[in-house]
Amino acid sequence: MASKFVFHKILALSILSFLLLSSCKDENQKKKEEYQRQLDETKKILLEKQKEQYVIENSFADPETAVRSFLNAIIQSNEKNVEKYSFGREESENILLPNLIGDKSIVANIPLDQALEMLRLRRELGIKRIADSTEGKRVTVKRVIFNPKKRILNRLVGYEVEKVELNVAGKTVFSEQIKLVVEHKGQFKVAVVSP
C-alpha cells in the first residue's frame, strides 16, 4: 500500500514537472520569436535608410584630421565640438547602422533602440576616459595609427583606429578609445568611440 502511494506521488510530481517544463519551453519560444521579430524589424528599418549619397555634417578631408579634431575638442573641453566631430544618435541611426547590415555588427544581434543606446553609452564612456586622462594637462596628438586594411561598409569606407599616440604632460600615452572613422565620398568623421 505504501509503495502504491509513493508511486502515485512520484507520478504526480513527474507530470507536474513535465507540465512546468513544457510551459517554460513555450514561454522561451515566444520570447525568441518576439526578439527575432524585433531584429527583422530593425533590419527592415535600416535597409530603408540606406542611400547612395549621404551628407556627413562637420566632416573632414582625411581620417587623421577627423581624429585629431575630435581629440582636440575633448582636450579643450569643447563639448559642442566633441558632439559635432563624432557621430551622434541621428548620424548613427541614419548613416552608420544602415551601412553595417551584413557586417556581423551590433545590429545583427540586438534591436535598433538597444543598439543606439549601447553606442551612446560606449561613446560617452570612451569620451570620459579620454577626458579624464588628459584633463588639466598639456596634451599634443603625436600620431594616429590606423589598421592598414580599410573596411567596406556598403556605401561607407571604415578606417579602424588601432591607437593614438599622445604626449600628456611630457609622457607618451596611447589612447585606444577611438575605434572607427568612416568616409563617404571624401567626407571623414569619427563614428565609433568606446571605453
- Is residue 40, in this structure, part of any structural domain at all? no
Domain annotation covers residue 18: no
Q: What is the mean pLDDT of residues 62-80?
A: 93
Q: Which domain holds residue 100?
A: 63-193
User: Can you tell me which residue has the cell 561613446?
Assistant: 123
Using the predicted structure, report yes or no on whether residue 12 has a pLDDT greater than 90. no
User: What confidence score (pLDDT) does residue 18 get?
Assistant: 67
Q: What is the DSSP string of 118-158?
A: HHHHHHHHHHHHHHHHHTTS-EEEEEEEE-SS-EEETTEEE
Percentages helix, strand, coil for the chain, rounded to the nearest 5? 55, 25, 25
pLDDT of 174 reads 95
| pLDDT at residue 3, as a whole number | 62
Instruction: Please indicate, yes or no, if residue 36 is contained in any of the structural domains.
Output: no
pLDDT of residue 141: 94
Within-domain flag for 46: no
Would you say 139 and 75 are in contact if contact means Cβ atoms under 8 Å apart?
Answer: yes
Integer Cα distance of 14 and 156 in angstroms: 58
Residue 164 has a pLDDT of 97
Give residue-wise pLDDT tens across range 122-166. Answer: 999 999 999 999 888 899 999 999 999 999 999 999 999 999 999
Number of separate domains in the chain: 1
Q: Look at residue 175 and tell me if it is in a domain.
A: yes
Over residues 83-112, the pLDDT tens digits come to 999 999 999 999 999 999 876 777 778 899
Q: Examine residue 74 and state whether it is found in any structural domain, yes or no.
A: yes
Q: What is the DSSP string of 26-56?
A: HHHHHHHHHHHHHHHHHHHHHHHH--S----
Q: Read off the pLDDT band of 118 (50, 70, 90).
A: very high
Task: Please state the φ and ψ torsions of residue 181, each to the nearest 5 degrees.
Answer: -110, 135
CA 121 – CA 119 distance, rounded (Å): 6
pLDDT of 44-70, one tens digit each?
999 999 999 999 999 999 999 999 999
| Domain assignment present for 19 | no
Question: Which amino acid is located at 106 in the chain?
Answer: I
Q: Is residue 31 part of a domain?
A: no
Burial of 161 (C-beta count, 10 Å sphere; 0-12/13-18/19+) = buried
Q: Model pTM?
A: 0.81
Residue 39 has pLDDT above 80, yes or no: yes
